[in-house]
Amino acid sequence: MDKKELQLLKNLTDAKGVPGNEGQVRDVFVKYAEKNADKVFYDGLGSVIAKQVGDKEGPKVLFAGHLDEVGFMVTGITEEGFLKFQTLGGWWSQVMLAQQVEITTGKNKVIHGVIGCKPPHVLTVEVRNKAYDIQDMFIDIGATSKDEAMEWGVKPGDMVTPYIEFKRLNDSKFLLAKAWDNRIGLAVTLRVLENLKASGHPNIAFGAGNVQEEVGLRGAKTATYLVDPDIAFALDTGTAGDTPGMTAKEADSKLGQGPQIIIYDASMVAHKELRDFVVSVAEELDIPFQYTVIARGGTDAGSQHVTRNGMPALAITVATRYLHSHTSVIHEDDYLNTVKLVTEVVKRLDRKTVEKIKFG
């Protein structure tokens, strides 16, 4: 992977953007997308869509990642200067304590903090032996009073994001960062737009960054409604099953073995003809891939496929370790192969092929 590719990934993952506050990430997306788009536009909720015309008479093909990451919102300030907060997206309390965070104020000042709780020394055995209640956690920013915290610009409603440094894990192909869910889907979207501009394609392509996926697949509803595509893809992350203690029944995807094709999740059953078409392209070009089932959770494809009067949709994802935590890990080959697969799929979606997928 060259420096340009790595810089794209770093810029996306360094950007801060929780559900309802995705502006920083949207700005990064637009900076890259506008170079390869005929038009960039927005839905009323804040999702961004880059339109690229290959054949103005061709079908409309949408592929989208989501802008938001799991994070928090400041909900109050104690008299002693500690911050109370609300989770945004699914968090597991075990991964939160003693982790560093950044609060972005209304004037875009960044305040550093750490998530804390009562010390274990004062807890009963019963409390120590179970997951700590998120409602009893707080954020320590070093303020000595509510007035001081407010003087620094902190207010209820401010965005709170995990703090972690983007890096390659030693000399491996494993990449560590915050917010791979779902900045990697945005990176795939942007790279596919770039590839399509260079190669041409027989359709009208729409690369999107949806808002508020982590709180109910919301932006996908409005963005997909606005585009009204013939075919839709959600580009996201999926559970990895290659760490100690995992069983194939829980998750069987492994990092480095190709993009995941989601055949079932809690938000949708994959469209059979579209699924089979994507698999045929992967097999034709010897692109490695993995069939994946996600029994709990879903992707923006869950909203895409039931928009308006319905459409074929599919989620193509990158296996990721330690999802919904401060730090997650992907394999660079999976990213590159996902870019290749989605590019080649979109290049083959002409009017005749889309009609066959839709109507048999």
Q: How far apart are CA 26 and CA 215, in angstroms?
A: 18
Q: How far apart are CA 166 and CA 172, in angstroms?
A: 14
Count: domains in the chain: 2
205 with 117, same domain: the answer is: no
31 with 80, same domain: the answer is: no
Instruction: Give residue-wise pLDDT tens across range 254-285.
Output: 999 999 999 999 999 999 999 999 999 999 99
Domain boundary among 162, 187, 214: 162
Q: Is 234 contained in some domain?
A: yes
Catalytically active residues are 213
Q: Is 99 contained in some domain?
A: yes
The amino acid present at 251, given as its one-letter code, is A
Bridge-partner residues for 321, per DSSP? 329
Q: Is 157 contained in some domain?
A: yes
Q: Is 172 contained in some domain?
A: no
Q: How far apart are CA 147 and CA 143, in angstroms?
A: 9
DSSP string, 164-233: ---EE-TTSSEEEES-HHHHHHHHHHHHHHHHHHHH--SSEEEEEEES-GGGTSHHHHHHHHHH--SEEE
216 with 117, same domain: the answer is: no
9 with 143, same domain: the answer is: no
85 with 60, same domain: the answer is: no
State the pLDDT at residue 122.
73
Q: How far apart are CA 293 and CA 280, in angstroms?
A: 19
Q: Give the β-pairing of 100-104 and 159-162.
A: antiparallel
Domain that holds residue 205: 3-69+178-359
State the pLDDT at residue 249.
77
Instruction: Give residue-wise pLDDT tens across range 111-163.
Output: 999 999 877 777 777 777 777 889 999 999 999 999 999 999 999 999 999 99
Q: Residues annotated as binding site? A: 66, 181, 214, 236, 324
205 with 56, same domain: the answer is: yes
Among 16-20, 247-251, 352-356, name the one with the lowest average pLDDT: 247-251
CATH number for the domain harbouring residue 122: 2.40.30.40
Q: Residues annotated as binding site for Zn(2+)? A: 66, 181, 214, 236, 324
What is the helix (H) or strand (E) element at residue 75, kind and residue range? strand 71-77
289 with 345, same domain: the answer is: yes
146 with 34, same domain: the answer is: no
CATH number for the domain harbouring residue 289: 3.40.630.10
State the pLDDT at residue 246.
85
334 with 185, same domain: the answer is: yes
216 with 351, same domain: the answer is: yes
Check: CB of residue 15 under 8 Å from CB of residue 161: no
220 with 117, same domain: the answer is: no
Cα dihedral 189/34/49/61 (nearest 10): -60
State the pLDDT at residue 169.
96
239 with 353, same domain: the answer is: yes
